[in-house]
Amino acid sequence: MRMRGRRLLPIILSLLLIVLLSLCYFSGHLRESRESPVDQFLLHLPPEAEEEPPNPNPQPKPANPLLNLTDFQYLLASNVCRKAERELLAILIVTSYAGHDALRSAHRQAIPQSKLAEMGLQRVFLLAALPARERFISQEQLASEQQRFGDLVQGNFIEDYRNLSYKHVMGLKWASQECRNHAKFIIKLDDDIIYDIFHLRRYLEALEVGQPGLATSSTLLSGYVLDAKPPIRLLANKWYVSKKEYPHALYPAYLSGWMYVTNVPTAERIAAEAERASFFWIDDTWLTGVVRTRLGIPLERHNDWFSANAEFIDCCVRDLKQHSYECEYSVGPNGGDDRLLVEFLHNVEKCYFDECVKRPAGKSLKETCVAAVKSRAPEHGLAEVKPLRLR
């Protein structure tokens, strides 16, 4: 017993010492934290500086302004580009009213993400925040749509046709930041547009081979060119533009926002130059017209791909089903029919397996579809139909 006690004594003593030392240490801290608010105020000026040691790796502030929206944030963000296993041929950025969930669902049904991925493509929808008046969809529903598909990019500005320029710049910035080194091309689309993705893919593949300089340049803008249109100066028109908003008699040539093709270097320059240019709310006119002109970027004209008639696309679907006739057009409006894109893409694909035939002479769409045609010629239609897209 005595022997054991003698061996334990130094251990007990050192334990006591440790306890004593810790008591001193913690009481010091306790005293510090019990200082009155006044003491704290006097001793630690400013208090935050003491509590938050400088972060060697500061997180980017959520404030990453979008044009003059200093409090811009993404409400929903997608990583479809970063997570792609190999470099994508293109990322599709589709301007979509947040409430158009049924229309987005038609896009996904027409060509699902898995199939896009097989083709070297990915797609996101560009949304803004739901306006207070929106009754049919909630932010929770959008969050669950995002959970399911991960293809939404939503900014915190409010949905409005007068806010489309914000949305468009958001899309170009998002694609150039998220898809740099991940996607060769950017295809900008509206959600109510029919587009032949198989045709666009062929075009991009040919562009890479045939014009590699243009494909990788910072001057790629390709689509439907609208030449020198005058602004609408009639007050009653939804698209009325005041002299203050746009003082000149004509717009510079610009690309229809229905569908155009660009790439990361070009999108980046346009988004950066937009920050320096004065804001204009008609998004395609501003970005691919006014802002583009400041950068001296020429436009690639592919007007023959486009039809302003939803009926023509409808007739195309009918003739593809019945006779496997190739469609003369690759892009057009859906005419308010959400299902038309599904029908069109499901029927046009066979033409890329050489299962279609050229339209016989005398059976052009203009001749065989004319009875159904209600809207005007494409030249007018592009300007006239477009305004209807957002109620």
Ligand X SMILES: *[C@@H]1O[C@H](CO)[C@@H](O)[C@H](O)[C@H]1NC(C)=O
The site for ligand X (CB under 6 A) is made up of: 68-69, 157-158, 160, 162-163, 279
CB of 163 to ligand X, least distance (A): 4
Q: Pick the closer one to ligand X by CB: 161 or 352.
A: 161
In the complex with ligand X, which residue's Cβ is closer, 26 or 279? 279
What is the torsion angle, in degrees rounded to the nearest 10, for the CA atoms of residue 91, residue 95, residue 100 and residue 105?
-10
Q: Which is nearer to ligand X, 73 or 113 (CB)?
A: 73
SS3 230: coil
Here the tokens at position 14 are 């050192």
CB of 173 to ligand X, least distance (A): 16
Element holding 93 (H helix, E strand): strand 88-95
| Cα distances (Å, whole numbers) of residue 162 to 40, 249, 268, 387 | 50, 21, 22, 11
Which residues make Cβ contacts (< 8 Å) with residue 201, sequence separation at least 6?
89, 90, 119, 120, 121
CB of 278 to ligand X, least distance (A): 7
Our separate counts of H helices and E strands in the chain read: 16, 10
CB of 107 to ligand X, least distance (A): 25
Place of tokens 């293809």: 151
Tokens 């240019």, located at residue: 277
- Closest to ligand X by CB, 245 vs 367, is 245
Name which of 141, 136, 130, 125 is nearest 77 in CA terms: 125
User: In this structure, what is the dihedral angle of CA atoms 4, 8, 9, 14, given to the nearest 10 degrees?
Assistant: 170
Least distance CB 384 / ligand X (angstroms): 22
Distance CA 367, CA 125 (A): 36
CB of 261 to ligand X, least distance (A): 28
Of 128 and 172, the one with the shorter C-beta distance to ligand X is 128
Number of CB atoms found within 10 A of residue 158's CB: 15
Inter-residue contact 93 to 187 (CB < 8 Å): yes
Each residue of 56-71: b (16+ CB within 10 Å) or e?
Answer: eeeeeeeeeebbebee
- Choose between 75 and 310: whose C-beta lies nearer to ligand X: 75
Nearer to ligand X (CB atom), residue 134 or residue 349:
134
Residue of this chain nearest to ligand X (CB atom)? 160
C-alpha radius of gyration, the chain, whole number = 30
Residue 99 Cβ, how far from ligand X at the closest point, in Å? 14
Kindly state the smallest distance separating residue 247's Cβ from ligand X, in Å. Answer: 14
Residue 342 CA: distances (Å) to CA of 18, 91, 96, 193: 75, 20, 17, 11
Cβ atoms of 89 and 186 closer than 8 Å: no
**CA–CA separation, 154 and 125 (whole Å):** 8
Among residues 107 and 167, whose Cβ is nearest to ligand X?
167
Q: Report the distance separating Cα 103 and Cα 342, nearest Å.
A: 10
Residues 6 or more apart whose CB falls under 8 angstroms from that of 104 comprise 94, 96, 125, 145, 191
Nearer Cβ to ligand X (160/273): 160
Q: How far is the CB of 297 from ligand X (least distance, A)?
A: 24
Nearer to ligand X among residue 184 and residue 389 (C-beta): 389
Q: Nearest approach, Cβ of 114 to ligand X (angstroms)?
A: 35
